[in-house]
Amino acid sequence: MTFRRFKQVLGATLLLAAVCGPTFAAKPLKILMFGTSLTQGLGLPPGTELPAVLAKKLGAAGIPAQVVNAGVSGDTSADGLSRIDWSLADHPDAAIVELGSNDALRGIDPAQTEKNIAAVLTKLKAAHVPVLLLGMKAPRNLGAQYDAAFDAIYPKLAHQFGDMLYPFVLDGVALDPKLNQADGIHPNPAGTQVIAARMFPYVQKLIAEIPKGRH
């Protein structure tokens, strides 16, 4: 092969790489799922926790994505706020935020819970990370005033920050013994499947909000 021919072949190869490279080198989306034991998958066999199930559903839909499990059992909204910077250092493309359940179980002032979650959402917005906020409802043993104040946190914050809201993370699962573990709080594998199926259209909409340059 002459030097001139070599240059022609090299140029064509580089052009092909420039055109096709992004298609073949595209990395899976990185979705941060940030929350409590409901995210972590307390009591569940490996691979059946909510982030893992959502990742499988995305893959089956032709959307390669890594759903990072950033759930910590027992975390309050204050605990979540204390570690969000660490999770953001991993540069997620989008985030699913599930916080507040442990606040309600401990009877923490809803105003403080709202303040903490708002601070988490502020940090995500500053990092230009689109968010799906998962709503929670207070257990109905703390009084109507507490219930109303706590339940209102999520729609209020979603409106304030312009984030998508999934109204109740345990929708279709709460209080159903067939879909929960013995503690009556944490979903079993069947319950996790129900949550993932109901949440999945919201996750697809979340992905559509990721800036094109980050796909």
> Which residue of the set 37, 77, 87, 101 is catalytic?
37
In the structure encoding, which two tokens stand for residue 122, read together? Answer: 């502020």
> Which residue of the set 147, 159, 186, 215 is catalytic?
186
> Which residue of the set 79, 93, 183, 215 is catalytic?
183
Q: How far is CA 104 from CA 123, 168, 180, 207, in A?
A: 23, 14, 19, 30
What does the angle CA 4 – CA 7 – CA 12 come to, to the nearest 5 degrees?
130
Kindly write down the DSSP assignment for every residue of the chain, as one continuous string: --HHHHHHHHHHHHHHHHHHHHHHHPPPEEEEEEESHHHHTTTPPTT-SHHHHHHHHHHHTT--EEEEEEE-TT--HHHHHHHHHHHHTT--SEEEEE--HHHHHHT--HHHHHHHHHHHHHHHHHTT--EEEEP----TTS-HHHHHHHHTHHHHHHHHHT-EEES-TTTTTTT-GGGB-TTSSSB-HHHHHHHHHHHHHHHHHHHHTS-GGG-
Per the annotation, the verdict on 82 as an active-site residue is no
Per the annotation, the verdict on 171 as an active-site residue is no
Per the annotation, the verdict on 186 as an active-site residue is yes
Catalytic residues: 37, 183, 186
